[in-house]
Amino acid sequence: AYGILSEEDKLVAFINEKIAATNFTSIDKSEIKHYLKGLFMSLKLEQHTVIE
């Protein structure tokens, strides 16, 4: 799980950097963050299911 969390942190930092460099609205930012959270949650659930 630690590996995924650190990758998630790297991705979030990268995307925040890209968002800051462009003129996204706050709605765009929240949509992107919501999508990423959903993506990582599904990845964590899949990995958890495989382990058990």
Which tokens belong to 48? Answer: 């958890």
b/e 12-40 (16+ beta carbons within 10 angstroms → b):
eeeeeeeeeeeeeeeeeeeeeeeeeeeeb
Per-residue pLDDT of the chain (52 residues), as tens digits, is 556 668 778 888 888 888 788 777 888 878 888 888 888 888 777 766 665 5
**Residue listed under structure tokens 């990423």:** 36
Predicted TM-score of the model (pTM): 0.46
